[in-house]
Amino acid sequence: MRRGAAPPYARALGPVLLLAVLAFAAVGSAAAHAFLVLGELTVVPDPPRPGERLTIVIDMADPSLAPVEDAIVFVEVRRQRLVGENVPAASTEQPDLPPPDVSVDLTETQPGRYEGAFTAPDGGTHHLLIRDQTFQWEEANASVMLEIEPSTVGTLPFILPPTAIGPRSLWVWLLWLIGVPLLAGAVVTALVLGNRSASPEKGAT
């Protein structure tokens, strides 16, 4: 074996380290939820027609306008008279509201876009509570008002507040901060030991 060449097992650890770094980075970015989410809600058809199938479309992005993917989002629909005149502000805790008239689960149809359908309620004003429960220990919600009437709804903007990083996210970050450096150190150690074991072979020739 020539001087400076790492043994096969050491060279094989290089790709493993790279894959581990990429995996931890992907998981870490997905778990990092402590940022504002910018959202827009639209409906199809617009204007909505009472008693017909109505699709809610929500687009979500982070402050850099990158799509927020793999979120668990649903919308609770209530008649305004059940909520009152004071619309709940965006929060990281579920507001004290009566049971919803309907809860709509949204499915991601493309990066950062979530859709769900239900039967449009009767005409009038309805409160839509958008709830993001991507992680078990996290909750973010925002409110918009939807008018079921002949006029078009257009785009309803909203902002989901940043949420605290829960225990699961904390473990991911600990793995990212500690696990990857330990793995990198193991690879470097294997390379150094491999080079040292190769040195006597050359001296013997």
Q: What does the pLDDT average to over 110-129?
A: 92
Q: What does the pLDDT average to over 118-145?
A: 88
Highest CATH level, class, for 35-160? mainly beta
- The domain spans of the chain are 8-30+166-204, 35-160
Predicted pLDDT at 139 = 86
Residue range 151-185, pLDDT digits in tens: 899 999 999 988 765 444 445 445 555 666 676 67
Residue range 43-77, pLDDT digits in tens: 999 999 999 999 999 999 999 999 999 999 999 99
Q: What does the pLDDT average to over 95-106?
A: 91
pTM: 0.64
Q: Is 88 exposed, middle or buried (0-12, 13-18, 19+ CB in 10 A)?
A: middle
